Structure 1
Amino acid sequence: MQKMITIRSGGHNLSGALHLPEYRKEAIPLLVFVHGFVGSKVGEHRLFVKAARYFTERGYGVFRFDFSGCGESDGDYAGVTVTNQLKEVQDVVDYLSSIRGIDQHRITLVGHSLGGAVASLTAASDTRIKQLILWSPVGKPYEDITGILGPKAVHEIARHGSHDYNGFMISQTFLKDLKKHQPLKAVRSFTGPVHIIHAKEDEQIPKEHAVRYANSLNKRVDTRHVFEQYIDKADHTFSGYSFEDELFDKSLAWLEGNPVENLVSQT
C-alpha cells in the first residue's frame, strides 16, 4: 500500500510517500529514507522507489520524502541548507511517530550520500531514531560537496553568491552552512546500531568515509560494534540491478540481525 502524504515544515509543504506492508498483525518497523544533494524521494534510477517496494514486501514500512526545494516539495534549492534539512527531518519524524500501527521503538533512518550525513546528525540528537543505515555517506560535507561542484563553481559562488548547478541554484549560504556540520564526530553521540555500505567505485564521495564512520562509531562505549561493507564495482548511486539487489540484501541482512560474521567488512 502506498499513500502520498504532505507534511508541513516551517513555511513549506514536504511531499512524501508512505509504503506499508499489505499484511500486518503487529506494530510495523519503519525505515525513513533521506535523499542526498539535489536528490529526491524517487532517487537516481528510481532507487528509493525500488527500495521501498523491496522492504515493504518483507514486512517493513517505508517513508520517502522530498526536502524543500527538491522533487515535488515547496521551495527552491536556493533556500536549502543542511540546518534547514535537519529541522525538516525532525518534522517528518514528528508526523510519522503519530501514525497508528508504526512501531515507535523500531524507527531506522536510511541516508544516502549527503542524506547519510543528515541522517547521522539527526540520529545523534533524536532519541526516537533507533537504528541508522548509511549508503555511500558524505563524511565531510563542505569538502565532499565542493568536490562535486568543482573549483570553478565554488569560485563563482564566492564571487556572485550563487551558481546554477544543473538547474539547482546553489547559494553561498548553503556552502557556509555545510562548514558547521561534522557528522563523523557528531554520530558518536548516537547509541544505537549502525551499518555502513559504500560503493567501491564511488566517483563522488570517497569510499574511505565508510572506514572513517566505522572508526568514529567504534570509539563509543557499550555499543554494538560497527562494520562497513562495500559493493564491488558499484558507482555512487548503485546504478545497476545487481548493485541494487546487493545493497538491499545487505541492508536487510543487517536489519534482520544475521550473524555478525556475515557483516564483516569486505575488501
Structure 2
Amino acid sequence: MYPFFLQGESGQRFCIFHAPESRPLGAVLYFHPFAEEMNKSRRMAALQARSLSKAGYAVLQIDLSGCGDSDGDFADATWEAWLNDGMLGYRWLRQQTDAPLYLWGLRSGCLLAASFSERLQEKANFVFWQPVVGGKQHWQQFMRLKLAGEIATGGGKEITETMKRSLESGQNVEIAGYTVSPQLVDGLRKAELMPKGPVGKVIWLEVSSREEASLAPASLPFIEQWKAAGAAVDALVVPGPAFWQTAEIEDAPTLIDATQASIGLAA
C-alpha cells in the first residue's frame, strides 16, 4: 500500500495505490460515494482494494476535491472538478500499467465512473457497488436529511423551497454538515447510470439484508441498457448490511467475495 499526493489544477489529491506483487491482471480506479457515505464506506473500500491487490490487480483510490484528505473545501467541489480528478488518477494509473481498465464505483461513485468513461479512448470494464441509477433521486434523498428536522414543526415545505431558491440564485446550501454548491448539485442531478463509451464487462452488485432478495426494480431497465450497448453484465444480490449508511461501521464480506469471483471471471 503506497499513500501519496497527486498535484491537480486546484491543489493536491490524496491517493492510495495498492500494487500487486507481479504483473497486474487489471488496473482498477475507484470512485467513492457522496458526502457521509464516503466516510461510512472507507473500511469496505480499503478491504476490497487490498483483496484485489492480493489477487493481482493494481488499485488506485483517490479522494476527490474537497473530500477526505485532498485539498479544497466540499463547498467548492463541482461535478466537473471530480471528473477532472478521475482523469488525474487515470493518467497516473496508466503510467504504472497498461492492464485492462476497471472503473469501480460505490453508490454515486458509479455515476461518476460512467460519466468519466466518456472521456476515455479505451474500453472500460465496470464494477458497480449498490449503484445509484439516477442523480436526481439521489439528491432528493440527500435533501431529506435537511427536511427530517423540520417536518415535525411543519417547516419541511418551506425549507425545500428556500433551498431551491438559493440554488437557483447561485448560492450554496448546507445539509447535514455539508455545504454544497449549485454546480455540484446540477452535475449530480443530471447524471444517470448509462453507458457513455466503449464498454466491456459490467459487474453489478447490490447488497440486501433480506433473504432471497432480488435486484432493485429501478436497476433493471438500466441493466438492459448496458446489455444493449454490448456489455457483458454480471448482476446479482449478495447478503450483507447497508454499510454505506449504517450507524456503526460494518463489513460485508460476501460483497468482497462476490467481487473477487466476478472480476476473476472477467479477466
Q: Same fold (TM over 0.5)?
A: yes
- In the other structure, the counterpart of 1:49 is 46
> What is the correspondence of 1:184-223 to structure 2 with a 5 Å cutoff?
184=194, 187=195, 189-200=197-208, 207-220=216-229, 223=230
Which gives a bigger RCO, structure 1 or 2 (Cα 8 Å, sep 6+)?
2
Asked whether 1:159 is paired with 2:169, we answer: no
1:142: how far off? 1.8
Higher deviation after alignment, 129-138 or 43-52: 43-52
1:146: how far off? 1.9
- In the other structure, the counterpart of 1:15 is 14
**1:136 pairs with 126, 130, 139, which one?**
130
**2:190 pairs with 180, 192, 198, which one?**
180
SS of corresponding position for 1:256:
helix
Q: Which amino acid aligns with 1:208?
A: P
- In the other structure, the counterpart of 1:85 is 82
Query: Structure 2: 5+ residue runs without aligned partners?
Result: 148-155
Task: Encode CA deviations 1:63-106: one digit per residue, 9 max, x unaligned.
Answer: 1110001000011111122222111101110111112xx2x131
Q: Which amino acid aligns with 1:157?
A: M
Residues 154/6 of structure 1: CA separation in 2 closer, same or farther (3 Å cut): farther
Asked whether 1:255 is paired with 2:251, we answer: no
Residues 44/20 of structure 1: CA separation in 2 closer, same or farther (3 Å cut): same
Residues 34/45 of structure 1: CA separation in 2 closer, same or farther (3 Å cut): closer
- In the other structure, the counterpart of 1:245 is 253
TM-score normalised by the chain length of structure 1: 0.80
Q: Which amino acid aligns with 2:225?
A: S
Mapped partners of 1:138, 1:40: distance in 2: 12
**1:115 pairs with 109, 116, 125, which one?**
109
Asked whether 1:60 is paired with 2:69, we answer: no
Mapped partners of 1:64, 1:241: distance in 2: 19
8 A Cα contact 1:200 1:207, kept in partner: no
Query: Structure 1: 5+ residue runs without aligned partners?
Result: 259-267
Greater Rg by CA: 2
TM-score normalised by the chain length of structure 2: 0.80
8 A Cα contact 1:116 1:135, kept in partner: yes
8 A Cα contact 2:111 2:133, kept in partner: yes
1:234: how far off? 3.2
8 A Cα contact 1:195 1:227, kept in partner: yes
8 A Cα contact 2:240 2:255, kept in partner: no
Structure 1 stretches of at least 4 aligned residues deviating more than 4 Å after TM superposition: 39-43, 151-154, 238-243
- In the other structure, the counterpart of 1:265 is none
SS of corresponding position for 1:192:
strand
- In the other structure, the counterpart of 1:95 is 92
Mapped partners of 1:30, 1:154: distance in 2: 42
Mapped partners of 2:107, 2:32: distance in 1: 7
Question: Over aligned residue pairs, what C-alpha RMSD do you find?
Answer: 2.8
User: How many residues were matched structurally?
Assistant: 245
- In the other structure, the counterpart of 2:5 is 6
